Structure 1
């Protein structure tokens, strides 16, 4: 019996349209929106504090979006390890 996928995440949905769409979103659109976010916060507040915090937040979002493949691989490895019963015969306890 073949497994049936009832729902997919939006990244897989975008990949079904082609890897060009996924690449466009993660390497062009998100960095541009982060830059716009920093500029808008800087113009609206005219203060270095909120602009600095916006820059830090945009840097975090940008870093996570550019490393989405690494995060996906790590998550898949972790899920596979737990599905296999923890990855080995030896289970470390509290001793």
Structure 2
């Protein structure tokens, strides 16, 4: 599954057992994980393994392309979006 985020867009990704990893195809993100106290700013091409049941909070620092890699074809994935003021797509 591929997702495009506008600069400043924030998403929360809650993974189930079928989510294997997250790949940053293009752009720059800030990422924090429920299973880790550190924050990350991965580079393009980075692939992060997703821990079973963890929540990821991702902020697009630039326009971003993210790929969510699944073990199964029909993985359950819950994404919540939030914007500081207005949606970047309508601003």
Q: TM-score scaled to structure 1, two decimals?
A: 0.15
Task: Return the structure number with greater strand share.
Answer: 2
The structure carrying a bigger helix percent of its residues is 1
Question: Which has the higher relative contact order, 1 or 2, with Cα contacts under 8 A spaced 6 or more apart?
Answer: 2
